A and B are shown apart, each in its own frame.
Chain A
Amino acid sequence: MARITAGVATSHVPAIGAAVDLGKTKEDYWAPLFKGYEFSKQWIAKENPDVVILVYNDHATAFDMKVIPTFAVGCGESFGIADEGWGARPVPEVIGHPDLAWHISQSVIQEDFDLTIINEMEVDHGLSVPLTLMFDQPDAWPCRVIPLAVNVVLYPPPSGMRCYRLGQAIRRAVDTFDEDLDVQIWGTGGMSHQLQGPRAGLINKDFDADFLERIVNDPEALAAMPHIEYMRNAGAEGIELVMWHIMRGALNEKVKELHRFYHVPASNTAVGHLVLENTE
């Protein structure tokens, strides 16, 4: 049977991808950030998961204003790397796991989570930057990836609790998949940041520290936090953090925290990162 072995949370700032692609990771500005992922790279090389369910958001790349799905799961064989306006990132294409992706969608839709099915799309930095942070620069990604895109561009995104419950439903779906697979789930985006208007540049370290603590140890209560608190206290784009609840909902109530890292800034954003192991 398939099993969810671990969860990873990480921010997914485009400039981080550019720093790796352009060989700037040793520069003073970037070095402290990449140091925070050294543990995780070694850890994941040992874990060697078969599949990562990667929760991220599309940033007006695959989805324009024509069609805006709240939750969309990538069921295709593979996903190309998008040109977001400066040429596609020089990273390998993403190989999906259609059997598990279809299994998840058929399961959770019957549990009232109306996922949109995507067979063809290109993925942007929201998905590729976390892969880069965890796997560096391989010729091919070492595992299959199921993209799970969440709308956080158009207000309102799904509530934190809806995300948490979807994570729980994904967990049940993975648990009933017959193939013997080690599956990780990653929640990406955040932490505090604001990209727009006169308040751009907002960072809230206290909010972020509290969020990092509670998503590990008090996740269900944290998932009840209303949108307005993210937007007011963690910046308008801090709302991306709702995606972390999907990751957390798919793990056990008690998890083992293997790694925690926090750094300001990457471009306009506070970077947060967790590695959580599903204990028995």
Chain B
Amino acid sequence: MALDKPYTDIPGTTIFDSSQARKGYKLNQFFYSLMKAENRERFLSDERAYLEERNIGEEQIQAVMDRDYNRVISLGGNVYFFGKLFFTDEQSFEVGASSMTGMAPGEYREMMISGGRSVEGNRYTEEQD
């Protein structure tokens, strides 16, 4: 019997479950490698070479190089792991998170200061169209 996944209809949200974890294993281990200062340096000096060494698929390599975090998520990336790349890029978690929302960082910050994104209309995908 298939696993029950009641969370697939939450809009704009990918739950990091067993299938995502399996798909993203090498990708997330790459992000984790950025915890070491010498790896951050090597990665920044030649991103593609560093990624290719780690046997990550081409789609994932491209998503990382584009800093396309929604794509990274769909390919198995987890935010606590790719957060290490925000820091490598000297970017705050707030700016990193904003990049996935289609909002400019300033606009996102304003939204947070005025109480955050409302849950109304954001609970179920069917509420969205």
Contacts and interface: CB of A to CB of B under 8 A. Distances in A.
A198 B12 contact: yes
A84 B35 contact: yes
A154 B21 contact: yes
B104 to A, nearest CB: 13
Q: How large is the interface on A (under 10, 10 to 19, 20 to 34, 35 or more residues)?
A: 35 or more
Contacts of A59: 80, 83
Interface in A51-108: 59-61, 64-66, 82-86
A207 B119 contact: yes
Interface in B98-117: 98, 100-102, 108, 111-113, 115-117
B32 A204 contact: no
B116 A195 contact: no
* Interface residues of A, dominant DSSP: loop
Contacts of A205: 115
Contacts of B115: 203, 205, 264-265
B92 A199 contact: no
B50 interface: no
Contacts of A85: 34-35, 40, 83-84, 86-88
B55 interface: no
A223 interface: no
A169 to B, nearest CB: 27
A196 B13 contact: yes
A199 B25 contact: no
Contacts of B116: 192, 201-203, 264-265, 270
Contacts of A265: 112-113, 115-116
Contacts of A236: 10, 13, 15
A83 B94 CA distance: 19
Interface stretch (A1-9, A111-119, A227-235): A227-235
A60 B117 contact: no
Contacts of A279: none
B63 interface: no
A36 interface: no
A65 B32 contact: yes
B66 to A, nearest CB: 16
Given A85-B83, A198-B100, A201-B108, A65 B14 contact: no
Nearest to B78: A153
6 tightest Cβ-Cβ pairs between the two chains A and B: A203-B116, A85-B87, A199-B12, A198-B12, A265-B112, A196-B79
22 contacts: A15-B93, A15-B94, A60-B28, A60-B80, A60-B84, A64-B28, A65-B32, A85-B40, A156-B17, A195-B93, A196-B69, A197-B12, A197-B14, A197-B70, A200-B100, A200-B117, A201-B98, A201-B101, A204-B119, A264-B115, A265-B112, A268-B94
Given A61-B35, A198-B11, A231-B7, 14 more contacts: A14-B93, A60-B32, A60-B83, A64-B81, A86-B90, A194-B117, A197-B12, A197-B13, A201-B111, A203-B117, A203-B119, A232-B7, A233-B119, A237-B79
